[in-house]
């Protein structure tokens, strides 16, 4: 018998000090392609954006939800609608 190493993927929270993985609470620890790993994270209510992946505990509460949920800013405040916005998008919300 011979063994072959394979590359597996899982999404890990980018919040400093957080080691949560999107697959921690499932029977699957990792996926054979990165697309399936991101699909799993999206299904688990993760905030997945280019270059930034946040677990549900750190996602929408620490990231601007303006600009079609693509704004990467983390200097956010809660608006009257209950969503978090950076100062620029807070002005445009119904705060």
pTM of the predicted model, to two decimals? 0.66
In the prediction, which pLDDT does 1 show?
86
Domain that holds residue 73: 60-95
Q: Is residue 95's pLDDT more than 60?
A: no
Query: Is residue 64 within 8 Å of residue 92, measured between CB atoms?
Result: no
C-alpha to C-alpha distances, 43 to 11, 26, 38, 75, 78, nearest whole angstrom: 12, 12, 9, 26, 25
Q: Are residues 25 and 67 in the same domain?
A: no
Q: Are residues 66 and 86 in the same domain?
A: yes
The pLDDT tens digits of the residues spanning 52-66 come to: 888 988 887 788 888
Find where tokens 């590359």 sit. 7
In the prediction, which pLDDT does 24 show?
81
Query: Is residue 63 within 8 Å of residue 73, measured between CB atoms?
Result: yes
Q: Are residues 50 and 67 in the same domain?
A: no
Q: Are residues 50 and 69 in the same domain?
A: no
Number of folded domains in the chain?
Answer: 2
In the prediction, which pLDDT does 94 show?
59
**3-class DSSP state for residue 67?**
helix
Q: Are residues 26 and 3 in the same domain?
A: yes
């Amino acid at each position: 018998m011979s063994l072959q190493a394979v590359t597996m993927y899982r999404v890990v929270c980018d919040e400093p000090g957080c080691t949560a993985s999107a697959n921690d609470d499932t029977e699957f620890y990792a996926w054979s392609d990165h697309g399936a790993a991101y699909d799993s994270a999206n299904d688990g209510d993760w905030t997945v954006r280019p270059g930034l992946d946040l677990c549900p505990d750190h996602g929408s509460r620490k990231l601007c939800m303006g600009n079609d949920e693509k704004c990467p800013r983390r200097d956010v405040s809660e608006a009257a609608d209950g969503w978090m916005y950076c100062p620029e998008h807070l002005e445009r919300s119904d705060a």
